[in-house]
Amino acid sequence: MLSGVAPAGLRLDDVGVEFDPSSRLLRAAAPVLEKLADTLLDTRYNLLLADRDGHIVYRWFADRRLENVLDDLGIRPGVTGAEDVIGTNAIGTTLEIRRGIAVYGEEHFIEPFKPYSCYGHPIISPVTRRVEGVLDISCQARDANPLLAPFLVRAVEEIELRLVDLSKTSERVLMAAFQAEPWLRSRAVAALGEDVVLTNKAAVDLLSPSDYASMRLLADELDRASEHRTRVHLSSGLEVDVHLSRVSGAGTGTLFRFIPAEQRRHSATPPARDAGQVPGMSGPVLIHGPSGAGRSTEARKLAPDAVHLDCTDATTLGEQAWTASLRTALARDVPTCLENIDLLPPALVPLVVDAVAAGRRLILTSAPVRGLSGPHLALASIVIDKRELAGLQERASEIGTLAMRLVRDLDPAANVRLIPSVIETLAARPWPGNLHELRAVMAEVLKRRSSGDVTVQDLPEHYRTTIRARHLARRERAERAAIIDALTEHDGNKAHAAKDLGISRTTLYARMRALKIDF
């Protein structure tokens, strides 16, 4: 009930997630499901298969009444069967407890399920011991039979054996692609599969253990795309270009090719710059992003010797005193950074507009431009060089590097290392407080440990569990950001946010649950 599940049930106005019909789980389960369907053809038993996140990927019905119930609730392939969405059931509850379970009639939470009984059993990879999915047999309550449980276990065992065979096949395909990679002898190359990591000597020298967690996060971001290029900072501090691509036939197997920064340097002598010119600045710069995204840090990195003025001081100190400080700063032969221009009193905006128009060496910081209006939006619009900082949740692949940078800031003497499981746990968090929140978390970690490997148990208790949400596709991340922006703009009022987004309030609640938005 705290999750918003109503006993009467709620129609899920949710198209569900896109799932891969050729996924390893479905390929392993297909022959077993076909045999089960033949066996159950003249019965009143029904089959459901869900992936590790609870999303239904297969349905088969001998009793069409259950199919109608699920359709009426909007529970279709791609839609979740998690407990926090539809209450106690053989899919969601099995995922919570990681063992087989029978849910009989009245033990269901929502009323539409009470006429039915269901048996669920987790499909666990014998190689990784990770839950890969759930197989469910459902029937009318009067047809419940304790023999269905061992019948289900036998079917799951067959699927698990096929998973092992497929895993070996994908590993062989990944190995072949790695060995055939043209860059193997000249540059750092790595291959990452579900259960295996391959590297050449150059990659061994380049990568540290925490970098492998970042690689897995980058691979997750590929979604259905076949390749991607990006630039990352390794835990060593080295900046590299990364070209990653999916290996066909290897499941989620991905090849990584690394080009360190020094190999990108042009041999030509860089042009000389004026003594007063700031590297990376050809004129006024606007750094915008959510609170805690590192706007001030980015400004200091851009111009370490800049004079900093906070626009919020114009209210506390008085507009006249703040104006005098601005004119004094502009008169000096150093850049001037004006922080939080979105909070500058409107009467003072023309003064900054004039300075921008005059080409003064200004660095401005503000909330995201899309949230500005009136004179503040007009000011932001005339700054050509805009640099947007994403929230921490959108920078999952950088989480390890950012966390270690904060550790060094908090305690330069600390000699700690974040193990990959810690980085993956942190990367799964929503981080509404962005870098400020991460900094607070790392400060707590350093109270527990100042040397050695940081484990999940060293994290604050609330941060030790990985949110059960799947890795979101790019479309879902964009949708999630839009919903959070609307809720923020309307101070959490869901009715107003839904109207602004052009959806019903019911749909908004469903999408918030599906996208794990806690607001």
Across 287-315, average pLDDT: 89
Residue-level pLDDT at 269: 41
Percent over 90 (pLDDT), the chain: 37
DSSP 411-480: -TT-EEEE-HHHHHHHHTS--TTHHHHHHHHHHHHHHH-SEEEE-GGGS-GGGSSPPSPPPPPHHHHHHH
CATH number of 181-262: 3.30.450.20
Percent over 70 (pLDDT), the chain: 90
Q: Is 47 a residue whose pLDDT tops 80?
A: yes
């197989």: which residue's tokens?
Answer: 135
Tokens of 289: 């992003």
Single-letter code of the amino acid located at 157: E
Sorted by sequence, the CB contacts under 8 Å of residue 472 that are 6+ apart come out as 480, 515
Tokens of 200: 């050449």
Residue-level pLDDT at 270: 40
More confident residue, 311 or 263: 311
Q: Which among 410, 347, 352 has a CA at the least distance from the CA of 381?
A: 352
Q: Is 271 a residue whose pLDDT tops 50?
A: no
Across 183-192, average pLDDT: 89
Instruction: Give domain limits for the chain.
Output: 24-166, 181-262, 285-383, 392-463, 474-514
Structural contact between residues 61 and 76, judged by C-beta atoms closer than 8 angstroms: no
Residue-level pLDDT at 363: 94
Q: Which among 25, 396, 467 has a CA at the least distance from the CA of 222?
A: 396
Across 197-213, average pLDDT: 87
Residue-level pLDDT at 285: 93
Structural contact between residues 295 and 365, judged by C-beta atoms closer than 8 angstroms: yes
Residue-level pLDDT at 362: 92
Q: Is 227 a residue whose pLDDT tops 90?
A: no
Radius of gyration of the chain (CA): 27
Structural contact between residues 444 and 454, judged by C-beta atoms closer than 8 angstroms: no
Across 210-231, average pLDDT: 78
Structural contact between residues 193 and 180, judged by C-beta atoms closer than 8 angstroms: no
With bands split at pLDDT 50, 70 and 90, how would you rate the model's confidence at 16? low
Q: Which among 322, 190, 206 has a CA at the least distance from the CA of 255?
A: 190
> Distance between CA 138 and CA 112 in Å, rounded?
13
Structural contact between residues 508 and 498, judged by C-beta atoms closer than 8 angstroms: yes
Across 121-130, average pLDDT: 86
> Distance between CA 499 and CA 250 in Å, rounded?
44
The domain made up of 285-383 has a fold known as: Rossmann fold (3.40.50)
Q: Three-state SS across 73-109?
A: HCCCCCCECCHHHHCCCCCHHHHHHCCCEEECHHHCC
Equal CATH topology for 285-383 and 392-463: no
pLDDT in tens, 348-403: 999 999 999 988 889 999 999 988 999 999 999 999 999 998 888 777 778 888 89
Greatest mean pLDDT among 2-16, 19-33, 138-152, 239-253 lies in: 138-152
The CATH number corresponding to 24-166 among 3.30.830.10, 3.40.1160.10, 2.40.50.140, 3.30.450.40 equals: 3.30.450.40
Residue-level pLDDT at 32: 95
Under CATH, which architecture does the 392-463 domain have?
Answer: Orthogonal Bundle (1.10)
Structural contact between residues 92 and 82, judged by C-beta atoms closer than 8 angstroms: yes
> Distance between CA 509 and CA 519 in Å, rounded?
11
With bands split at pLDDT 50, 70 and 90, how would you rate the model's confidence at 64? confident
Residue-level pLDDT at 48: 94
Across 212-227, average pLDDT: 76
Tokens of 27: 């390929």
Residue 245 pairs in a beta bridge with 227, 255
With bands split at pLDDT 50, 70 and 90, how would you rate the model's confidence at 473? low
The domain made up of 474-514 has a fold known as: Arc Repressor Mutant, subunit A (1.10.10)
> Distance between CA 213 and CA 197 in Å, rounded?
11
Residue-level pLDDT at 267: 36
DSSP summary character for residue 354: H
- What is the residue-averaged pLDDT of the chain? 85
Q: Which among 8, 98, 17, 7 has a CA at the least distance from the CA of 513?
A: 17
Structural contact between residues 135 and 152, judged by C-beta atoms closer than 8 angstroms: yes
With bands split at pLDDT 50, 70 and 90, how would you rate the model's confidence at 266? very low
Greatest mean pLDDT among 203-212, 298-307, 339-348, 497-506 lies in: 339-348
Residue 310 pairs in a beta bridge with 339
Q: How many CB atoms lie within 10 A of CB 64?
A: 11
Single-letter code of the amino acid located at 384: I
Residue-level pLDDT at 265: 46
pLDDT in tens, 73-90: 888 888 888 888 889 999
Residue-level pLDDT at 272: 44
In which element (H, E) is residue 288 found? strand 285-288
Across 311-324, average pLDDT: 91
CA–centroid distance for 103 within its chain: 32
